Chains A and B, each alone.
Chain A
Amino acid sequence: MVTGIFIAVGVIFLGRLFQLQVLDPTYKEYATNNVLRKVVQYPARGLVYDRNGELLVYNQAAYDLLVTPREVVRFDTLTLCSLVDITIEEFRQKFQEARAYSSYKPSVIVKQISPEKYAVLQEHLYKLKGFYIQPRTLRQYPKPLAAHVLGYVGEVTRDITANDPYYQSGDYIGISGIEKTYEKELRGKKGVKYFLVDVHNRMQGSYLDGRADSAAQIGKNLVLTIDARLQEYAEQLMKNKKGSIVAIDPATGEVLAMVSTPNYDPNLLVGRQRGNNYAALAADSLKPLFNRSLMAQYPPGSTFKMANALVALQEGVITPYTEYYCAHGYHVGNFTVGCHHEQSFRVENSISQSCNAYYCYIFRAILENPKYGGVKQGYEAWREYMLRLGFGRVLNTDFANELKGLIPSSDYYQKYVYRNARWRALPIISLSIGQGEIGITPLQMANHTALIANRGYYYIPHVVKEIEGQPIDVRFKTPVSSGIDSSWFRPVINGMEKVMQPGGTGAMSWVPGISVCGKTGTAQNPHGSDHSVFMAFAPKDNPRIALSVYVENGIWGSTYAAPIASLVIEKYLNDTISASRQWLEKSMMQANLLNPIQILRRGEEE
């Protein structure tokens, strides 16, 4: 019985083999032209426009030269090398590498040949057996603008090809900026064509008459929220300064401009010189590749005062009419926080005159609020508010590499400040005036400003306005509440308005005809001069722009950050700078805050 099964199976299998190998002609057809070659069709990446339809990123054709070593017959190496601009040694080395990889499969031998060179090369291609051309596209930028927002593309790493089956070695992928966050939309979909190839690897036509092929789909075009003209103007203002500007439309959360300086020309990170240029930028001590808007975490200084005032009002520990007296500072026993007034303050003028003492009083009142039964619990409640005001956490924007900043947890202070001691307000009182262990990114500060401008809520900042044929993520259309009643914003915003008026700290940056609400700040810098910080929104009613400006080593908020912010606001709202302020524009554009020795060194490199 068992032996019978063996023989039966043997006979069935033998019959099947006979059918496959001798009778059935379909497999014979494959035997004559029996292998498939897969040719990948690369789609062009999507284009990128600004909010007014100005083109920011487009594509330029480039051509890769591929070789299949087995098919190569004798050819004129010298001509080929001169056509594609490489040395014979380079060519030999590349050819060896290709052969080491596979003599049957094509490998790239010269990357990104320009269309002009390709036109000539094409004439000679018929003499070069075994060489093929693969069309690719490269990114191009009409203006050297918004490099950090746009980001750049580069070849995939081995890590990526190992983890994502979509990518093959040699493919491009967005590495930073929107190229990274919107990679899936921008890249389109690769297509595939199958060809039948004979024993000698010559193409014999399409496989299954092209029924198995798939066409490449061009990437989707993006419209950014960025206003290219405002972006360009802001970049001009920040020239020769280290720092950042982030401007947001508070009514929508759309980012109108995002500047991080020093910056670079995005065209540098394209094409055959990309590697060298990237290395030079990465080695630059001024860190032009570093996006300060998202990744620099500054202590906010006095720009933090509105947040504390709002929490104190919401918690009911003060009213808009509560007064505290500043006696050249805040004094408890031997402990002093310095200030320069000798008068009483309410919320409103404490902001316009930036009184430190006032904030020590109210911060302490928040922490010692009897409702929480302890300073630690009071601190935790305060920290919860800070998170809701947009600090100390990632905002979940569509920017790549967004950092969350720092609002320390109570565990941190327990471990490093209080240890076994009882929690008291004084050791952390500097948080009241935005100093100490706080880190806030320019983006978070701009978003916080938008929140104040909206009297209590914000839309998650985002940089993409439209994706061709599909809506942007619903999270950008949903307002996020801060948990603070809109009525408490009145005294705070009135104070911010007075900042810009005579007697306020930002009076020098007053813009005629526009009611700007702002706040100056000085961010402590342990490594050198303090940073100049300013936050502002305008107009006071129905705000259209909210922004944060950081100028590193600019010392006072009123010296650089405030004038620059006022110019950006005036430019955006009025389109021109009034005659009385042209001198200010000129002096800001010409101001040079970079270390002179570094400037010298940069000059030599260029």
Chain B
Amino acid sequence: MARRNNIWASIDWLTVVVYLILVFLGWINIYAAVYNEEHQSIFDISQRYGKQLIWIGAALLLGFFILLIDTNFYVFFSWFFYGLVILLLVLVLVAGTEVNGSRSWFLIGGFQFQPSEFAKFATALALSKKMSSFNFRLSRKQSLLQVLAIILAPVVLIMFQPDTGSAIVFLSFVLVLYREGLSGVVLFFGALIVLLFLLSLLVPNYILLMVLFVGALVAHYVLNLRIRPVFRGLLIAAGVVSTLYAANRLLDAGFSNEVVVLAGTLACAVGFTVWIARLRIRRSYIVSLLFFASVLFTYSVDFVFQNVLEKHHQSRINELLGIQSDPLGAGYNVNQSKIAIGSGGFFGKGFLNGTQTKFNFVPEQSTDFIFCTVGEEWGFVGAGVVMALFVYLFIRLIMLAERQRSVFSRVYGYSVSIILFFHFVVNVGMTIGLMPVIGIPLPFFSYGGSSLWAFTILLFVFLRLDASRLDKLV
């Protein structure tokens, strides 16, 4: 008995309060988003807001019970949960109901259930379990492979549904690994790849090639602090490229500019590499290697983009990058979403006064685009407050994670914070036109039982772990 009192006293109530505020704000915004005159009562359970209230009640009950259960339960059954979720993800491919072309849902007696929502929780547990195990070192290849397997198994299964949005969420675990000692080089390469990917879609490849070449030379300078070879390299490259260009023109050989630049630059780069090889500057090898890898990557992006991504993903990325503008087609959601948020102004139009909302101009308003309603009706002030609450929650969770004495709890805490953060970035970023349209819910806000419960479980298990952090080492 004494122990239980202890638990209630050591719960981080601040986090609970922020959670409750967010859930409540979500609920009244769902009410505003699907409000109609025929069903004015917010408790009307034939409407989404009434249903959401039921989900919230159930979620709170769920949270309460999670706090009652002993910490060891979660640690002990980590693998069990993970195995169960993997099983469900396999099952949903076979027995799931197909909605909008993907098999992500079980439909059981009128209730929908989406296993991929719970996969995040189970993966976080399994990851914590693995990384807290006795002989685990991230620097060891075997450990790293095991961790990657844990993360990638649900990703692959979810891609089969296919539900790219939910699968991408698992990328965020990389940040957790980074906290646990993964080399920063991996993050650097990750960022480089994303940057190259975007640039290769935005600018013609041969311009990017020249930029890369200059970048490589600058890197040489930074690493060796010798400016002369850099200048020399630049001059030679410019000379070779322009000679080739002139030759191509004069001889009327008919090669495109792209081929000319590619040939010239690559020839120079090879020459440059051979030349530094004679100087025996070891770090320069890496730069050259990086340069060639980048060039290869740039050219493979186009191929992947055209042949691997689906049509609607292509058009969403193109829309985001401004390559194609189609306000009534692929960009419709984002355009309407920006109009809704933008029209909110500084103070907003006021509760239930959002006209964009009323006319159903923004699709999926109560689920993926719920942030529009916040922006339109509560303005910059309201949207800012909601964002501040979220960011505060993420930071608070990191603080809590850092004060854990067990590796298990710390890894789990980081996972929770980063999963929530990732959802927030992608979802809010999408509504304000900074991210492509990827359909993942805004935690605690979006309409839907599965996601609310999954996020609640995720958060409250951590709160439970945190509450007993002083009990013993796990």
Known interface pairs A2-B418, A34-B355. Does A17 touch B341 (Cβ–Cβ under 8 Å)?
A: yes
Shortest B194–chain A CB gap in Å is 14
Q: How far is the CA of A398 from the CA of B425 in the complex (A)?
A: 56
B359 at the binding interface (Cβ < 8 Å): yes
Interchain CB contact (< 8 A) of A21 among B328, B375, B395, B398: B375
B421 within 8 A of partner (CB): yes
Cross-chain contact A3 with B383 (CB below 8 angstroms): no
* Contact bitstring A547-577, B, C-beta under 8 A = 1, else 0: 0000000000000000000000000000000
Known contacts being A34-B339, A34-B355, is A28 close to B361, with CB within 8 Å? no
Q: Do B432 and A20 touch across chains, with their CB atoms under 8 A apart?
A: yes
B266-299: CB near A (< 8 Å → 1, else 0) gives 0000000000000000000000000000000000
A92–B361 CA distance with the chains assembled, in angstroms: 29
A412 at the B interface (CB under 8 A): no
B418 touches A27 (CB 8 A): no
Instruction: Give the docked Cα–Cα distance between A5 and B178 (Å).
Output: 13
Judged by a CB distance under 8 angstroms, whether B129 is at the interface is no
Among the 9-residue stretches A7-15, A79-87, A181-189, the one with 4 or more Cβ atoms under 8 Å from chain B is A7-15
Q: Residue of A at shortest CB range from B361?
A: A35
Number of interface residues of B (CB under 8 A): 42
Measured CB to CB, the nearest residue on chain B to A197 is B359
Q: How far is the CB of B92 from chain A (nearest CB, A)?
A: 25
Q: Which residues of A contact B434 (CB under 8 A)?
A: 12-13, 16
In the bound complex, CA of A9 to CA of B425 (Å): 8
* Least distance between A197 CB and chain B CB atoms (Å): 9
Q: Does A21 contact B339, Cβ atoms closer than 8 Å?
A: no
Query: Which of A7, A17, A21 has the most C-beta atoms of chain B within 10 angstroms of its own C-beta?
Result: A21
A104-B358 contact given A13-B428, A13-B432, A17-B383, CB 8 Å threshold: yes
Q: Determine whether the beta carbon of B343 is less than 8 Å from that of A30.
A: yes
Residues in B whose Cβ lies below 8 Å from that of A35? 355-356, 359, 361
B387 contacts which chain A residues (CB < 8 A)? 10, 13-14, 17
Contact B341 A6, beta carbon cutoff 8 Å? no
Q: How far is the CB of A269 from chain B (nearest CB, A)?
A: 36
Q: B37 at interface (Cβ–Cβ under 8 A)?
A: yes
Q: Residue-by-residue, is A203-220 near B (CB-CB < 8 Å gives 1, otherwise 0)?
A: 000000000100000000
**Contacts between the two chains (Cβ within 8 Å), count:** 95
A246 to B355, CA, bound (A): 61
Residues of B within 8 A of A279 (CB): none
Q: Give every chain B residue within 8 A of A16 (Cβ-Cβ).
A: 432-434
Report which of A2, A14, A21, A103 forms a contact with B345, defined as CB distance below 8 A. A21
Let me know if A104 and B359 touch, CB within 8 A.
Answer: yes
Residues from chain A with a CB closer than 8 A to the CB of B38 are: 100
B64: Cβ under 8 A from any A Cβ: no
Given the known inter-chain contacts A2-B175, A10-B388, please indicate yes or no for A17 contacting B432, CB distance below 8 A: yes
B342 within 8 A of A: yes
- Given A27-B338, A27-B342, do A7 and B358 touch, yes or no (CB 8 Å)? no
CB within 8 Å for A31 and B345 given contacts A13-B387, A16-B432: yes
A-B contact pairs, 9 of them (CB 8 A): A2-B414, A16-B434, A17-B383, A20-B341, A21-B345, A27-B343, A30-B343, A35-B359, A103-B37
Task: Name A's B-contacting residues (CB within 8 A).
Answer: 1-3, 5-7, 9-10, 12-14, 16-18, 20-22, 24, 26-28, 30-31, 34-36, 100, 103-104, 199, 212
Please report B residues at the A interface, Cβ cutoff 8 Å.
Answer: 37-38, 175, 178-179, 327-328, 338-339, 341-346, 355-356, 358-359, 361, 375, 379-380, 383-384, 387-388, 390-391, 394-395, 398, 414, 417-418, 421, 425, 428-429, 432-434
Closest 6 CB pairs of A and B: A27-B342, A31-B343, A10-B391, A21-B380, A20-B342, A30-B339
